Amino acid sequence: MDKAQMAEIYDRLHDAVYRTAFAYLRNRQDAEDITHDVFLQRFAREEPFPDGEQEKAWMLRVTINRCKDLLRSFRRKNSVPLEEAAQIPARTSDERAVWDAVNALPARYRILVHLHYAEGYTLREIAKMTHQTETAVQTQLYRARKRLRAILGEEFTL
Amino acid sequence: MNMNDYKHVTQRMHPSDACKHEILRAAAQNEQPRETRRQIFWKNLPVAAAGMAACLSLIVGGAFIWQNRADFAPRTQSQVPDVSAVTEEVGASLTTTATTLAQVAEVQTETAAQVQTTAEVQAVSQAAETAPAVSAETEIVTTKATTEAPVKAESRGTTAATIMTTAASEIKTTEVKTETNPLLQEVIIEDDTIPHRTLEEIGFIIVNMDCEEYHACEKKLMLDMFGEDGFNDSLENYAADKRMQFWREFAKRYGKNDELTESITIFLQTAFLIQKGDLSPEEGVSLIQNFNEGKTIPEEIIEKMNNNADLRLRRECSEGKDEDSQFTDMWETFTGIEWQMQYLMGEFYGYSDINNPFPGWWIVVYQY
């Protein structure tokens, strides 16, 4: 794979990989580290993908696995560092509130919310990506929404 | 306020430009993905251990020399002991040893002669088996030889049986790891009364229903117990004693207690002990393997399973924290357990669907 091909893949997928890693880890530096590793893993893979969507799904699956490994390896605390919170690009108070509420969810819910609402994946696709059953994903999303409603109150709609 | 707000914020997030350059540079240099901290830890462990062992040896050696420094100091002429007496003692000892060696040599010679005689007798007995005419003298020898033969055969048989047992046990071990768990097969439940005591104690209930059924049961029970007036969509909004009351009733109505739930419970409890650090992952695997083979689980482990798990949850969810933190703590704990569960399931069944490890079954985790 030459440099131009690598750059093309990076330009096409870097945001999705980075945002997914950030949704899981809530830390810029860690998310960039994961992005770095995931792309190196992608470039090392010689087997081609049938289409771009499958390639993206594969990369997000690798991202999630690497995030899990990272979290598992040194038991990160479930909190957003202050400097990170200040840099979050929310423009309105609503955006800020929803962002904070999603980030207050446990990691397993947060990643599902991100994949479904930000990346637009269906429950079935998420189930495949996260190695769970569709029912399990559905239930966790149900609980996540319930939790978000509890945090944000009646003003929050889906 | 809706999920689009989250999406909009997310869409404004990008990795730094430096990230792209770094990745492309690393790719051009054919670098491998970075190792995780865990991989680095294990990789460096032998070197670190060797280093520590060397340091420890130096310290111990230094301490020994310091303690016995008088022995290591240069000696004066008057301190050098008189060795002539010692030399005499050694000489006497050597003489005794030489005598003993001579006696041993004699015994060996005798033994060799006896061995030769035995060989001759065996040769005679073999000849007797094949000889057409049998004399009275050789008949006795033949009888001895024939009575010895079945004993040997039996002994060989025993050995073969031992080998077969070993082979069978090896095959059994492999089967545990590769084939479908027999406990996963459908279990007909006849007794669905009050579930196993420990299920309540450690904070989860195992039910046989899918997601929709579960939520319907949860709602129905809340209505039954608290009535229309007191009904609140979220159980978290009820006081702790009501929640506890609810879960006790839920366990009583819907919880299952049978061989399969026992197996699930063992997995969960083991995962819990690994997560807490009471067991190493390897010890956890061994514990489940013993359980599957019907071996007794040590008393102290059962005690830990029955007591500590619940206590830890309660402690984490109580000490001066607000409700959000309590909730997060609890989920962090259970996320950890799930990871351990995933590891254990992977070890035993080769798959790891952490949310649905036993298809068709639901593990309800509740909080106080």
Q: Encode pLDDT of B36-87 as tens digits.
A: 544 555 566 677 778 778 877 888 888 877 777 666 665 555 555 555 555 5
Give residues with Cβ within 8 angstroms of B223, minimum separation 6.
Answer: B231
The pLDDT assigned to A21 comes to: 93
Angle A73-A75-A76 from CA coordinates, rounded to 5°: 115
Indicate the pLDDT class of residue B125, thresholds 50, 70 and 90. Answer: very low
Does position B21 have pLDDT exceeding 80, yes or no?
yes
Does position B234 have pLDDT exceeding 70, yes or no?
no
The answer to whether A117 contacts B16, with C-beta atoms less than 8 Å apart, is: no
Indicate the pLDDT class of residue A17, thresholds 50, 70 and 90. Answer: very high
Q: How far apart are CA A149 and CA B313, in angstroms?
A: 25
Q: Encode pLDDT of B135-155 as tens digits.
A: 333 333 333 333 333 333 333
Does position B278 have pLDDT exceeding 80, yes or no?
no
The pLDDT assigned to B190 comes to: 28
What value does the mean pLDDT take over residues B310-318?
Answer: 42
Share the mean pLDDT of chain A: 83
The answer to whether A155 contacts B1, with C-beta atoms less than 8 Å apart, is: yes
Count CB pairs under 8 A between chains A and B: 155
Q: How far apart are CA B217 and CA B212, in angstroms?
A: 9
Does position A77 have pLDDT exceeding 90, yes or no?
no
Q: Encode pLDDT of A138-154 as tens digits.
A: 778 888 888 888 888 87
Q: Encode pLDDT of A96-106 as tens digits.
A: 899 989 988 88
Helix count and strand count (H, E) for chain A: 8, 0
- Per the rule left: phi > 0, alpha: psi between -120 and 50, beta: everything else, A156 is beta
Taking the Cβ of residue B17 and every Cβ of chain A, the question of whether any pair is shorter than 8 Å is answered with: no
Q: Which residue has the higher pLDDT, B10 or B169?
A: B10
Indicate the pLDDT class of residue B267, thresholds 50, 70 and 90. Answer: confident
The pLDDT assigned to B28 comes to: 84
Indicate the pLDDT class of residue B165, thresholds 50, 70 and 90. Answer: very low
Residues of B in contact with A131 (CB under 8 A): 352-354
Taking the Cβ of residue B35 and every Cβ of chain A, the question of whether any pair is shorter than 8 Å is answered with: no
Does position B285 have pLDDT exceeding 70, yes or no?
yes
The answer to whether A117 contacts B6, with C-beta atoms less than 8 Å apart, is: yes
The pLDDT assigned to B330 comes to: 54
Across the interface, of A41, A73, A131, the residue whose CB is closest to B352 is: A131
Sign of CA dihedral B185, B189, B191, B194: positive
Q: How far apart are CA B45 and CA B339, in angstroms?
A: 23
Indicate the pLDDT class of residue B13, thresholds 50, 70 and 90. Answer: confident
Q: Which residue has the higher pLDDT, B263 or B157?
A: B263
Q: Which residue has the higher pLDDT, B290 or B258?
A: B290
What token pair was written down for B353? 């669907």
Does position A54 have pLDDT exceeding 50, yes or no?
yes
Residues of B in contact with A132 (CB under 8 A): 353-356
Share the mean pLDDT of chain B: 60
Taking the Cβ of residue B8 and every Cβ of chain A, the question of whether any pair is shorter than 8 Å is answered with: yes
Does position B324 have pLDDT exceeding 70, yes or no?
no
The pLDDT assigned to A8 comes to: 92
The answer to whether B234 contacts A150, with C-beta atoms less than 8 Å apart, is: yes
User: CA of A41 to nearest chain B CA: how many angstroms apart?
Assistant: 6
| SS3 labels along chain B | CEHHHHHHHHHCCCCCHHHHHHHHHHHHCCCCCCCCHHHHHHHHHHHHHHHHHHHHHHHHHHHHHHHCHHHHCCCCHHHCCCCHHHHHHHHHHHHHHHHHHHHHHHHHHHHHHHHHHHHHHHHHHHHHHHCCCCCHHHHHHHHHHHHHHHHHHHHHHHHHHHHHHHHHHHHHHHHHHHCCCHHHCCCCCCCCCCCCHHHHHCCEEEECCCHHHHHHHHHHHHHHHHHHHHCCCCHHHCCHHHHHHHHHHHHHHHCCCCHHHHHHHHHHHHHHHHHHCCCCHHHHHHHHHHHHCCCCCCHHHHHHHHHHHHHHHHHHCCCCCCHHHHHHHHHHHHHHHHHHHHHHHHHHHCCCCCCCCCCCCEEEECCC
Across the interface, of A18, A66, A95, the residue whose CB is closest to B5 is: A95
Of B285, B291, B220, B290, nearest in space to B254 by CA: B220
Q: Give, for A9, the enclosing helix (H) or strand (E).
A: helix A3-25
The pLDDT assigned to B166 comes to: 31
Q: Give, for A67, the enclosing helix (H) or strand (E).
A: helix A52-74
Does position B129 have pLDDT exceeding 70, yes or no?
no
Residues of A in contact with B2 (CB under 8 A): 98, 156-158
Question: Structure pTM?
Answer: 0.41
Residues 45-104 of A with CB under 8 A from B: 66, 68-70, 72-75, 78, 88-92, 94-99, 102, 104
| 8 Å CB contact between A130 and A111 | yes
The pLDDT assigned to B96 comes to: 61
What value does the mean pLDDT take over residues A56-75?
Answer: 79
The answer to whether B2 contacts A69, with C-beta atoms less than 8 Å apart, is: no
The pLDDT assigned to B307 comes to: 56
Across the interface, of B6, B354, B355, the residue whose CB is closest to A98 is: B6
What value does the mean pLDDT take over residues B323-347?
Answer: 60
The answer to whether A138 contacts B353, with C-beta atoms less than 8 Å apart, is: no
Q: Encode pLDDT of B187-210 as tens digits.
A: 222 223 323 323 333 355 666 666
The pLDDT assigned to B317 comes to: 42
The pLDDT assigned to B201 comes to: 37
